[in-house]
Amino acid sequence: MTDRWRVAANLATLANALLGLGAILYVLAGNKLWAMFLVVAAIGFDGLDGMFSRRSPLPPSPFGRYADSVADAVTFGVAPAFLIAVHTSNVGLWSPWNPWLLFVAGGYLAAAIARLVYFTARGFQRSYFLGVPTPQAALALVVALLFHDTPAFQSVQPIAILIGASVIALLMVAPVPYPKIRSGATLRLPMAVAGAAAAVALVVLQFRPAVGSPFYLIALVAAYVLLVGVAAYYLVGPFTVDRTPHPAAPG
């Protein structure tokens, strides 16, 4: 039996993967702002995937769970690793750090894949995430890049990116509970606002507004709203977790 909700969920998963591939290509082309925008947009499709699959009257699909994890590995594992390791602007500043950037990018990717493998095998049975989920990890990395890479609101700082990406990678595999952002979740609204703020900042910045201009200030304010939303998830999230187990419904 074909179910329209299952089809919609699988299409959302496909869109997630395609946006991830597009983000990788944009990084290689030297446009990190659009790459980050595509990663943020993919978070929305990842959420739609789960929402559609939960509405399906059919039993949970192993194929959907595997496909979702593969898409997440591309978009929230490989693409962020490229964002960490590849730098086509300020080359002289980043070049001395290249070995460390590659090392941290590899560690980030390994952590993302490790938590996705765990989720696919066992973690999906929990009503919460164990370790920071890969979409929220990617969103935190976007915050770090906005402030210390492109457009570098607080100056270009390779060491800040290295430390920030390393901490994010460790939190993905740390045995700390984090909530799933579903209807009724305590942090649903703050995370929705954070995602919208990320989109605003990245679209405005694509037009390269002059420092101090009204559009630059709009992007800066949106980036700080994103920062607050991500910080709320990381710091408050573990205290909002409902540990009552119930099976998830993958796409």
Its pTM stands at 0.92
Domain assignment present for residue 125? The answer is yes
21-63 residue pLDDT tens: 999 999 999 999 999 999 999 999 998 988 888 887 777 677 7
Domain assignment present for residue 245? The answer is no
Q: Please give the average per-residue pLDDT across 125-150, as a whole number.
A: 94
What confidence score (pLDDT) does residue 143 get? 97
CB 42 within 8 A of CB 16: yes
- Name the domain count of the chain: 1
**Residue whose structure tokens are 């919208």:** 196
Instruction: pLDDT band for 110, please (50, 70, 90 cuts).
Output: very high
Domain assignment present for residue 18? The answer is yes
Report how far residue 127's alpha carbon sits from residue 92's, in angstroms, rounded to the nearest whole number: 47
For 71-135, give the secondary structure using H, E and C: HHHHHHHHHHHHHHHCCCCCHHHHHHHHHHHHHHHHHHHHHHHHHHHHHHHCHHHCCCEECCCHH
What confidence score (pLDDT) does residue 7 get? 87
Q: Which helix H or strand E contains 13, and what residues bound it?
A: helix 4-29
Q: What share of the chain is helix, strand, coil (3-state, %, to 5)?
A: 75, 0, 25
At 173, list the tokens: 């595999």
Report how far residue 200's alpha carbon sits from residue 83's, in angstroms, rounded to the nearest whole number: 19
Kindly report the average pLDDT of the chain as a whole number.
Answer: 91
Instruction: pLDDT band for 216, please (50, 70, 90 cuts).
Output: very high
Instruction: pLDDT band for 2, please (50, 70, 90 cuts).
Output: low
What confidence score (pLDDT) does residue 6 get? 85
What confidence score (pLDDT) does residue 245 get? 55
Range of the domain at 74: 4-240
Domain assignment present for residue 229? The answer is yes
Which comes out higher in pLDDT, residue 192 or 55? 192
At 201, list the tokens: 């900042």
Q: What is the CATH number of the domain that holds 142?
A: 1.20.120
What confidence score (pLDDT) does residue 65 get? 83
Domain assignment present for residue 86? The answer is yes
Domain assignment present for residue 251? The answer is no
Domain assignment present for residue 60? The answer is yes
Domain assignment present for residue 249? The answer is no
